[in-house]
Amino acid sequence: MEIIVNNLGKIVLGIVVAVVLALVIVNWKKIKQFVLEVKAELGKVAWSTRQELLSSTLVVIVVTVILGVFIGVLDIFLSKLLSLLFK
């Protein structure tokens, strides 16, 4: 049984590879055009400098910590308030 499943897997894999290869061959001009357009667009991107990236990352980390502490304190406060109200 294991040999049949193994061979079936190989057959399915072969079919999938053949279909993907056929699709690539049929659409080669479109794929090539797409890659060229992506390359051109990436050339227009204004990439951040290392310093800008580090500053932005620091801002995200600080804001995340502040919001985490705020939500934690609010949760503790509301939990205590609700436990007092429903006792």
3-state secondary structure string, the chain?
CHHHHHHHHHHHHHHHHHHHHHHHHHCHHHHHHHHHHHHHHHHHCCCCCHHHHHHHHHHHHHHHHHHHHHHHHHHHHHHHHHHHHCC
pTM over 0.75: no
Residue 4 predicted with pLDDT over 70: no
Over residues 22-73, the pLDDT tens digits come to: 998 999 999 999 999 999 999 999 989 999 999 999 999 999 999 999 999 9
Over residues 5-25, the pLDDT tens digits come to: 678 888 889 999 999 999 989
